[in-house]
């Protein structure tokens, strides 16, 4: 598996796991508290920072695993980790483009919420959800391209 | 499952004709990942023109000897 594909898996897992925690926490609070009174700021910041940190940790773990695997096979670790070729770049561009369209569609929804003067809680949630869905779709498009071809 | 492409290639045959070159060796010569060589060989990825020329150069044959373009089915 190319290193770029491994990193796509890391991104996908992190992008699914962290928002699940955030939205589960928020939905739990929504049962007992009105949306306007929910302090969503701190959990949202924690979720965003956690995503970055977990992605970096995942990259480090993948790098170590790939290096060990490469050495065991008598290959240079840098040949496995640093080698990003034209196919990787094409797949990355394709995934990012689809993700951009999904995020853009989500922004329309956020815009509508703003026009309706929805609570900040809902606007922030919709904004975060748009980015999350865009990143998940982007990762899936990349993984599909790696396996199915294009 | 591989997606069919109209670009065909003889890379596998050329590898075996060139001292049974492995996919990893070809990937190293091209500076690409082994998975990209596999994808090109299986017709799941059509390489850029530049990479196509590089592949032909590795085997020291004209581009036409490596790649073909299947006729459109009628």
Q: What ipTM score was computed for the predicted complex, to two decimals?
A: 0.81
Partners of B67 in the β-ladder: B9
The 3-state secondary structure of chain B reads CCCCCCEEECHHHHHHHCCCCCHHHHHHHHCCCHHHHHHHHCCCCCCCHHHHHHHHHHHCCCHHHHEEECCCCC
* CA pair distance B18, B42, nearest whole angstrom: 19
**Burial of A32 (C-beta count, 10 Å sphere; 0-12/13-18/19+):** exposed
CB contact under 8 A, A1 and B42: no
* CA pair distance A65, A53, nearest whole angstrom: 18
Partners of residue B32 in chain A, C-beta under 8 Å:
83, 85-87
Smallest CA-to-CA distance from A146 within B55, B38, B32 is with B38
Partners of residue B31 in chain A, C-beta under 8 Å:
83, 85
Question: Which among A6, A7, A69, A85 is the top mutation candidate for probing chain B, defined by the most B β-carbons within 10 Å of its own β-carbon?
Answer: A85
Helix, strand or coil, per DSSP, at residue A39? coil
CB contact under 8 A, B36 and A150: no
Residue B3: predicted pLDDT? 53
How far is the alpha carbon of A121 from chain B, nearest alpha carbon, in Å? 44
Reported as type and span, the H/E element at residue A34 is none
Cβ(B7)–Cβ(B52) under 8 Å? no
> What band does B40 get if pLDDT is binned at 50, 70 and 90?
very high
Compute the 3-state secondary structure of chain A and give helix, strand, coil in percent, each to the nearest 5.
Answer: 85, 0, 15
Question: Which among A86, A90, A92, A93 is the top mutation candidate for probing chain B, defined by the most B β-carbons within 10 Å of its own β-carbon?
Answer: A86
How far is the alpha carbon of A136 from chain B, nearest alpha carbon, in Å? 23
Cβ(B40)–Cβ(B9) under 8 Å? yes
Higher per-residue pLDDT: B17 or A79: B17
Residue B38: predicted pLDDT? 93
Neighbour count for residue B61 (Cβ, 10 Å): 15
CB pairs under 8 A between A and B: 45
Closest CB from A79, A85, A149 relative to B44 = A149
Neighbour count for residue B11 (Cβ, 10 Å): 22
B63: which 2 tokens?
């581009």
Residue A78: predicted pLDDT? 76
pLDDT, tens digit, for every residue of B46-70? Answer: 999 999 999 999 999 999 999 998 7
* CA pair distance A141, A138, nearest whole angstrom: 5
Cβ(A83)–Cβ(B33) under 8 Å? yes
Residue A83: predicted pLDDT? 77
CB contact under 8 A, B5 and A87: no
Residue B4: predicted pLDDT? 56
Return per-residue pLDDT of chain A as tens, 150 residues: 888 889 999 999 999 999 999 999 999 999 999 988 899 999 999 999 999 999 999 999 999 988 888 888 877 777 777 778 899 999 999 999 999 999 999 999 999 999 999 999 999 999 999 999 999 999 999 999 998 887
Query: Tell me, what DSSP letter sits at residue A54?
Result: H
Partners of residue A92 in chain B, C-beta under 8 Å:
none
How many CA atoms lie within 13 Å of A69's alpha carbon, on the beta-carbon side? 12
A63: which 2 tokens?
């790098």
> What band does B2 get if pLDDT is binned at 50, 70 and 90?
low
Closest CB from A75, A85, A148 relative to B36 = A85
């Amino acid at each position: 598996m190319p290193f770029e594909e491994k990193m796509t898996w890391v991104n996908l897992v992190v992008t699914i796991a962290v928002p699940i925690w955030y939205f589960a926490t928020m939905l739990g609070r929504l049962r007992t508290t009105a949306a306007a009174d929910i302090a969503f700021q701190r959990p949202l910041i924690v979720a965003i920072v956690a995503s970055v940190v977990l992605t970096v940790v995942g990259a480090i773990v993948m790098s170590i695993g790939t290096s060990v695997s490469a050495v065991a096979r008598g290959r240079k670790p840098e040949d496995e980790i640093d080698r990003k070729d034209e196919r990787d770049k094409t797949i990355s561009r394709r995934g990012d483009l689809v993700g951009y369209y999904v995020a853009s569609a989500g922004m329309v929804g956020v815009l509508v919420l703003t026009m309706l003067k929805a609570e900040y809680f809902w606007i922030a949630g919709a904004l975060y959800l748009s980015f999350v869905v865009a990143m998940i779709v982007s990762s899936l498009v990349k993984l599909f391209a790696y396996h199915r071809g294009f | 499952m591989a997606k069919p492409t109209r670009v065909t290639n003889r890379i596998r045959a050329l590898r075996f004709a060139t001292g049974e070159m492995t996919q990893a060796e070809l990937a190293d010569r091209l500076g690409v990942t082994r998975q990209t060589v596999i994808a090109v060989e299986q017709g799941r990825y059509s390489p850029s023109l530049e990479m196509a020329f590089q592949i032909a150069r590795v085997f020291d044959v004209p581009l036409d000897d490596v790649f073909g373009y299947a006729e459109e089915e009628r």
